[in-house]
A and B are shown apart, each in its own frame.
Chain A
Amino acid sequence: MAETDRVKVKRRELTETFLEGKNMSKVYGMGRRANRAVDNVNFKFRRGEIVSIVGESGSGKTTLAKMILGLTSITEGQLELYGQPRAFGTTAEKREYWKNIQAIFQDPFSTYNVFSKIDKVLLNCIELRGQKDLPYAQKVEIMTEACSFVNLRFAELTNKYPFELSGGQMQRLMIARIYILKPKLLIADEPTSMVDACSRATILDMLLKLRDEEDMTIVFITHDIGLAYYVSDTIYIMKSGQFVEQGTSDEVILHPKSDYTKRLLSDVPSIYEPWDLTSDDLLSEEDEFPTAAGGAP
């Protein structure tokens, strides 16, 4: 695949609801120390939709992502995949679920198992896809194709460990995994907060291509409001575990209704308007000095 130097998001019709969260909550701790990290949220993700969940640190974004991924239990409420409550008992069910739902994370350095070689990372994905019995030559073919999709050469990577790659290469490898797995939902937790603007565009380009080919739903979890506005169809603004505002990206960013969103937007530096540094601070005393029982981690 040749790399493009112009990236643009194709807008598309969205109809089919695919994943639905109903009154989901997550409570950490018990009794007096209970902390509602996610508080009664409802959402609907459609096939091919790009969703952004925007919020400050400690607003519960990552907890919500973990719940969707099944990395942590859901305290209350439920998650429905195609109208059916998610079955999540046995390992087989989990594997089945992870075929559909995958994630990429912010820091590529801490994502890989340092003891497994890159071949192993990609072979695992092929196995997860249910092609464990494929002859090795065909597996190599799949891996080569995935690597060339992200502009890496498989021949150069084989027999190497993840830490021998640069940060950018690791991040591409992460996308190559997604290319092999072709999940229906991809959760991207701050995928671009560690890279510069040009590389950000390249990563976005790859993700958008995957979406167009596979009708994949992408959930960006980010505090980069510019990015959220640029790519997403729908934006959810999260504050202390709740969605304070949700809607199409134009509605939320250009015509915000809640005061919180307005103040959040005023904190984002722009290049077209002067940045107002004098406005009230969003952070309260409690945010600044979190106590052990709650608040930001």
Chain B
Amino acid sequence: MAEYILEVKDLKTRYVTRFRENVYAVDGVSFKLKEGETLGIAGESGCGKSTLAMSLMGYYFPPLHYTSGSIIIDGRDITGEDPEVLRRTVLGTEIAYIPQAAMNALNPTRKIIKYINDVLVAHNIRLSRTELREMAEERMRLVNLPVEVLDRYPVELSGGMKQRTVIAISSLLSPKILIADEPSSALDVSSQKLVIKMLLDLIDKGLVKSMIFITHELPLLYNVTKKIAVMYAGQFVEMGPAHESVFEPLHPYAKGLMGSIIVPSEGIRDEHLVAVPGTPPNLKSPPQHCRFAARCKFRQPLCDSVVVPERFSSDGRLFRCLLPEAVLRELKYEDQIKSKQEDAEVELDVNIIPFAEDNGDGDSGKESGG
């Protein structure tokens, strides 16, 4: 048993469009996940959250293509393996994925038990009819779903029930890692709660060893996962324990994101909401410097000319910003950085890394290269 159940090193994947253009949707993501840990991924639409989830399975089909990096599940590097081997030995047993709106994937003319049979057949497990029913019923009881579900057609189930059924089917073979991509975003609060309860229950009972949870609802993420990563334009810009990430974010984008949380509790009506003006960069040609620079209100001149590496704070949180940790900790989103430091710019405490010349294809690359 390896120390980390999932280790992702500098994963890069891209989409290739009809016009042979590359869209760099996941661009250098690294993280490690221990057994029993849950990681939440937040970020705006189009930042690459769902692409990351799909990339993690190691099973690529066009237009998604693998570029570089490695995905190590329990000591086994799954990148570059034969897709057919991968499909039978990794997907479903090692890593399982619940796509967005998974409940719409159910064919309305087949009973739920047939889907369970499908999963088993795809993994070369042949059971007789009675064995299958016994196994399915036992599983349903384990995940607190009524046994009657097995003999129902998908149209006979409510949205929340369908989603929970899909989760039960996905986790049938007790995968080590479960990736849940917006499992509850189409549901109302009551059904959402049941879905979340079920997911947490799966981990408690050890049916799933760890979970990656993707959503744009931050209050939900805060309650579900221990660790939160904030994604922006294909990269993690911040990752750390949930409480710190929500209440003391470091990266300016994360500060904006956390400032726009609204929950129904007293006093929130008098507060200002933070909106981050502007739009994210086009991922066909993402800037080589800080990707958030164009929208960042704390931007320094250097932000436009150097590569921002992943940096780690004193307590091990990841952030991708040139400003010193101490400054970022003090900074509130409503502050103006210039008013604090009137004459001098804030000193940036990283070694300046100019753009690598081989991948410089824009004007900005030439400027700094010279």
- A interface vs B, CB < 8 Å? 2-9, 55-57, 151, 166-168, 193-202, 204-205, 223, 225-230, 249-250, 253-254, 264-265, 267-275, 277, 281-283, 287-290, 295-296
Instruction: Please tell me if the beta carbons of B191 and A196 are within 8 angstroms of each other in the complex.
Output: no
Contacts of A197 in B (CB 8 A): 216, 218, 257, 260-262
**20 A/B residue pairs, CB under 8 Å, sorted by A:** A3-B275, A56-B189, A57-B187, A151-B277, A166-B46, A193-B185, A194-B45, A202-B275, A226-B262, A229-B269, A230-B268, A230-B269, A250-B269, A264-B189, A269-B222, A269-B263, A271-B263, A274-B223, A288-B157, A295-B158
Instruction: Please tell me if the beta carbons of A4 and B192 are within 8 angstroms of each other in the complex.
Output: no
Instruction: Please tell me if the beta carbons of A226 and B159 are within 8 angstroms of each other in the complex.
Output: no
A6-B273, A57-B188, A283-B191 are known contacts; what are 11 more A-B pairs with Cβ within 8 Å?
Answer: A6-B334, A7-B272, A197-B218, A225-B189, A265-B264, A270-B223, A270-B263, A270-B264, A271-B247, A271-B263, A290-B156
Closest 5 CB pairs of A and B: A3-B277, A201-B275, A196-B44, A197-B260, A226-B262
| A6: contacting residue among B146, B246, B274, CB under 8 A | B274
- Minimum CB–CB distance from B295 to chain A (whole Å) comes to 9
Instruction: Please tell me if the beta carbons of B275 and A167 are within 8 angstroms of each other in the complex.
Output: no
Contacts of A290 in B (CB 8 A): 156-158
Residues A269 and B273 in contact in the complex (CB < 8 Å), given A197-B260, A199-B44: no
- Minimum CB–CB distance from B310 to chain A (whole Å) comes to 22
Q: In whole angstroms, what is the CA distance A199 to B247 when docked?
A: 20
Contacts of B159 in A (CB 8 A): 57, 296
Instruction: Please tell me if the beta carbons of B246 and A271 are within 8 angstroms of each other in the complex.
Output: yes
Chain A interface mostly helix, strand, loop or mixed? loop
| Cβ-based interface call for B266 (8 A) | yes
| Cβ-based interface call for B362 (8 A) | no
| A57: contacting residue among B44, B191, B220, B279, CB under 8 A | B191
A166 to chain B: closest residue by CB: B46
Contacts of B62 in A (CB 8 A): none
Contacts of B148 in A (CB 8 A): 289
Q: In whole angstroms, what is the CA distance A94 to B187 when docked?
A: 34
| Cβ-based interface call for B133 (8 A) | no
Contacts of B264 in A (CB 8 A): 225-226, 228-229, 253, 265, 268, 270
- Minimum CB–CB distance from B176 to chain A (whole Å) comes to 24
Instruction: Please tell me if the beta carbons of A8 and B191 are within 8 angstroms of each other in the complex.
Output: no
Instruction: Please tell me if the beta carbons of A5 and B276 are within 8 angstroms of each other in the complex.
Output: yes
| A227: contacting residue among B161, B193, B262, B279, CB under 8 A | B262
Q: In whole angstroms, what is the CA distance A226 to B216 when docked?
A: 14
Q: In whole angstroms, what is the CA distance A166 to B268 when docked?
A: 31
Q: In whole angstroms, what is the CA distance A136 to B219 when docked?
A: 48
Instruction: Please tell me if the beta carbons of B193 and A277 are within 8 angstroms of each other in the complex.
Output: yes
Contacts of A283 in B (CB 8 A): 158, 160, 190-191, 194
B243 to chain A: closest residue by CB: A271
| Cβ-based interface call for B200 (8 A) | yes
| Tally of contacts, chain A with chain B, CB under 8 A | 173
Contacts of B187 in A (CB 8 A): 57
B189 to chain A: closest residue by CB: A267
| Residues 143-181 of B contacting A (Cβ, < 8 Å) | 146, 148, 152, 156-161
Q: In whole angstroms, what is the CA distance A277 to B199 when docked?
A: 12
Contacts of A295 in B (CB 8 A): 158
Instruction: Please tell me if the beta carbons of B265 and A198 are within 8 angstroms of each other in the complex.
Output: no
Most B Cβ at <10 Å: residue of A151, A196, A202: A196
Contacts of B297 in A (CB 8 A): 5
Instruction: Please tell me if the beta carbons of A195 and B273 are within 8 angstroms of each other in the complex.
Output: no
| B200: contacting residue among A269, A277, A282, CB under 8 A | A277
| A288: contacting residue among B161, B222, B277, B279, CB under 8 A | B161
A287 to chain B: closest residue by CB: B158
Instruction: Please tell me if the beta carbons of A198 and B275 are within 8 angstroms of each other in the complex.
Output: yes
Instruction: Please tell me if the beta carbons of A196 and B257 are within 8 angstroms of each other in the complex.
Output: yes
| Residues 251-267 of B contacting A (Cβ, < 8 Å) | 256-257, 260-266
- Minimum CB–CB distance from B352 to chain A (whole Å) comes to 29
Residues A223 and B188 in contact in the complex (CB < 8 Å), given A198-B274, A265-B264: yes
Q: In whole angstroms, what is the CA distance A262 to B217 when docked?
A: 21
Q: Mark B270-300, 1 if CB is under 8 A from A, else 0.
A: 0111111111000000000000000001000
Instruction: Please tell me if the beta carbons of A6 and B265 are within 8 angstroms of each other in the complex.
Output: no
Q: In whole angstroms, what is the CA distance A127 to B119 when docked?
A: 55
Contacts of B43 in A (CB 8 A): 196
| A272: contacting residue among B185, B200, B263, B271, CB under 8 A | B263
Most A Cβ at <10 Å: residue of B200, B264, B271: B264
Contacts of B88 in A (CB 8 A): none
Q: In whole angstroms, what is the CA distance A57 to B273 when docked?
A: 27
Instruction: Please tell me if the beta carbons of B196 and A229 are within 8 angstroms of each other in the complex.
Output: no
Contacts of A168 in B (CB 8 A): 45-46, 279
Contacts of A281 in B (CB 8 A): 190, 193-194
